[in-house]
């Protein structure tokens, strides 16, 4: 699977455990040139340090996906420095911590709005920004979780946001397909990342997967990285509007 000659944007790298980083690393190893974003100064150093370990230099740009002006500035920088884009990896998600531990019926209007805005609407905004730069077709990839379809303890409003995200994948795929822009999602099994640490009882979920998934183990971020490179690249040129599970098969189990 080669991405030689391809130019990509990756959002959602917080640290070396981030699923977006796993995809960025594999994409770079496969030959892609990358732009990476960070949200707020707190994460800039992390992202710059990680980017320094890649084979070729990356463009590093700040971007809070909740801010339209930052999204606009991001694509202006990419146009200026890279000229065009072949793929976007969307690995940003957020819900206020209390919404991931209190009973779901206690979700506030603001927590609901924030979760949907940052975790789902942002894909639509990024697709719109990337579209004019994808002059030779392209690929958008996002990250979702089984909590979009089934109830998992404390996933709560994030499940609602992931359902909106997966539905947005299908509408965007239909909208952008005529321009040969594909839109897909990876539904990853649980991986211990910064975002996952905010979900109460996350370690218990890891244990259940180890016990019941057909492969009897937890998902490794490198597995998500490899599938990401597949979906981004030409090997997946016939696939769009899809949610592909990288979860050791857990989603097929009834009990």
Which of 76, 151, 174, 194: binder of ligand NAP (CB under 6 A)? 194
Range 95-99, long-range pairs (CB < 8 A, 24+ positions): 95/119, 95/156, 95/157, 95/158, 95/161, 95/198, 97/198, 99/156, 99/157, 99/158
- Of the two residues 33 and 223, which places its CB atom closer to ligand NAP in the complex? 223
Stretch that binds ligand NAP, among 73-81, 132-140, 174-182, 188-196 (CB under 6 A): 188-196
CB 152 within 8 A of CB 100: no
Closest CA to 107 of 147, 159, 58: 159
Strand 33-38 versus strand 181-188 pairing type: unpaired
Is residue 94 a contact residue for ligand NAP (CB under 6 A)?
yes
Q: Which of 6, 18, 61, 133 binds ligand NAP (CB under 6 A)?
A: 18
Tell which one of 65, 111, 123, 183 touches ligand NAP (CB under 6 A).
65
What one-character-per-residue DSSP string does 68-82 give? Answer: HHHHHHHHHHHHHHH
Instruction: Using CB under 6 A, pick the residue from 6, 7, 12, 181 that binds ligand NAP.
Output: 12
Could you tell me which stretch among 48-56, 73-81, 169-177, 183-191 binds ligand NAP (CB under 6 A)?
183-191
Min dist CB 12 to ligand NAP, Å, is 4
Tell me the site size for ligand NAP, rule CB under 6 A: 29
**245 flagged as catalytic:** no
Q: Kindly tell me which residue out of 95, 188, 213, 244 binds ligand NAP, with binding defined by CB under 6 A.
A: 188
DSSP 123: H
Token readout for 95 is: 């819900």
| Calpha distance 127→20 (Å, rounded) | 17
Contact between 189 and 219 (Cβ < 8 Å)? yes
Active site includes 250?
Answer: no
Which residues of this protein are in contact with ligand NAP, per CB under 6 A? 12-14, 17-20, 39-40, 43, 63-66, 91-94, 118, 143-145, 188, 190-191, 193-196
Which residues are annotated as catalytic? 145, 155
């Amino acid at each position: 699977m080669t991405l030689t000659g391809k130019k990509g944007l990756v959002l959602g790298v917080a640290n070396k455990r981030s699923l977006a980083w796993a995809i960025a690393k594999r994409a770079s190893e496969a030959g892609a040139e990358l732009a990476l974003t960070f949200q707020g100064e707190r994460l800039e150093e992390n992202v710059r340090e990680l980017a320094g370990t890649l084979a070729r230099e990356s463009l590093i740009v700040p971007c809070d996906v909740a801010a339209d002006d930052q999204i606009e500035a991001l694509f202006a920088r990419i146009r200026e420095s890279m000229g065009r884009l072949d793929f976007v990896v969307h690995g940003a998600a957020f819900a206020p911590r209390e919404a991931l531990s209190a009973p779901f019926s206690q979700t506030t209007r603001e927590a609901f709005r924030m979760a949907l805005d940052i975790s789902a609407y942002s894909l639509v905004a990024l697709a719109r920004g990337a579209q004019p730069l994808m002059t030779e077709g392209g690929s958008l990839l996002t990250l979702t979780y089984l909590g979009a379809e089934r109830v998992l303890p404390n996933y709560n409003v994030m499940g609602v946001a992931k359902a909106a995200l997966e539905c947005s994948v299908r509408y965007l795929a239909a909208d952008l397909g005529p321009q040969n822009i594909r839109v897909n999602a990876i539904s990853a099994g649980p991986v211990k990342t910064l975002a996952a640490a905010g979900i109460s009882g996350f370690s218990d979920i890891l244990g259940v997967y180890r016990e019941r998934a057909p492969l009897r183990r937890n998902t490794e971020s490198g597995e998500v990285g490899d599938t990401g490179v597949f979906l981004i690249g030409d090997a997946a040129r016939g696939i769009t509007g899809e949610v592909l599970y990288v979860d050791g098969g857990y989603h097929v189990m009834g009990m």
